Amino acid sequence: MSVAESLPRAAERKSRAKQPTRVRRPSREDALEAVRTLIRWAGDDPHREGLVGTPDRVVRSYAEFFSGYDEDPVALLQRTFEETDGYDEIVMLKDIRFESHCEHHIAPIIGKVHIAYLPSNRVVGISKLARLVEVYAKRLQIQEKMTAQIANTLDEVLQPKGVAVVIEAAHQCMTTRGVHKPGVSMVTSRMLGEFRTDPLSRREVLSMIGTPGGGSCEHV
């Protein structure tokens, strides 16, 4: 821990990596019945031939879409490497594709995550960064929260000098319903440590990412 690593920063790290509250899951039969209810709500008959197997498929899809609730993102990153031979430049993984679902409409969010960090003494395998994205993407999300969660978890586990996470994504709740605006993507970013406090480091990381706009915009 460097001198600059003050206690409040460590405490802040600890409090940020919160896990979702555990809920009691309904039975599989309850879930199937809920899908039948939604089919009736849409105006169709869940017992007609073409729809009979649908509740089962939807429930199995949900298990895949929301598998991130069963994984602990902090445990996932625990295995780190300290033999870096003094490497202290930016480590970046770009264009990590993800699929998530917005928590307001349960509609798909599809996009890319760019992750960068400035190691202090620990690095992590790059596949772990991609897995970290998956764990948070496979939950009900809003893009801003997912951006912060990825950055905060990396910050907590690796304790690097800086973390930058930028997400660009299209929200199907905007393209296929509501305002119907296809081709719009939302960009969010979370900068911690040196990327937050040092404008030069921030500019360097943003130019490496090559983000259109290079900043953040509001959720619509």
Q: How far apart are the first and last CA of the chain?
A: 40
Question: CB-wise, 102 or 192, nearer to Zn ion?
Answer: 102
219 binds Zn ion (CB under 5 A): no
Question: CB-wise, 52 or 217, nearer to Zn ion?
Answer: 217
Residue 174 backbone zone (phi > 0: left; psi -120 to 50: alpha; other: beta) = alpha
Catalytic residues: 102-105, 143, 171, 173
Chain centroid to CA 100: how far?
A: 8
Pick one of 16, 36, 105, 145: the residue that binds Zn ion (CB under 5 A).
105
9 binds Zn ion (CB under 5 A): no
Output the smallest distance, CB 139 to Zn ion, in A.
14
Q: Which amino acid belongs to residue 45?
A: D
Residues paired with residue 190 on neighbouring β-strands, in sequence order: 165
Tell me how far apart the alpha carbons of residues 147 and 145 are, in angstroms, rounded to a whole number: 5
170 binds Zn ion (CB under 5 A): no
Nearest residue to Zn ion by CB is 173
39 binds Zn ion (CB under 5 A): no
Determine the angle formed by the axes of helices 7-16 and 143-158, rounding to 10 degrees. Answer: 130
173 binds Zn ion (CB under 5 A): yes
104 binds Zn ion (CB under 5 A): yes
Tell me how far apart the alpha carbons of residues 39 and 174 are, in angstroms, rounded to a whole number: 22
Question: CB-wise, 94 or 105, nearer to Zn ion?
Answer: 105
Residues forming contacts to Zn ion in the complex (CB under 5 A) are 102, 104-105, 173
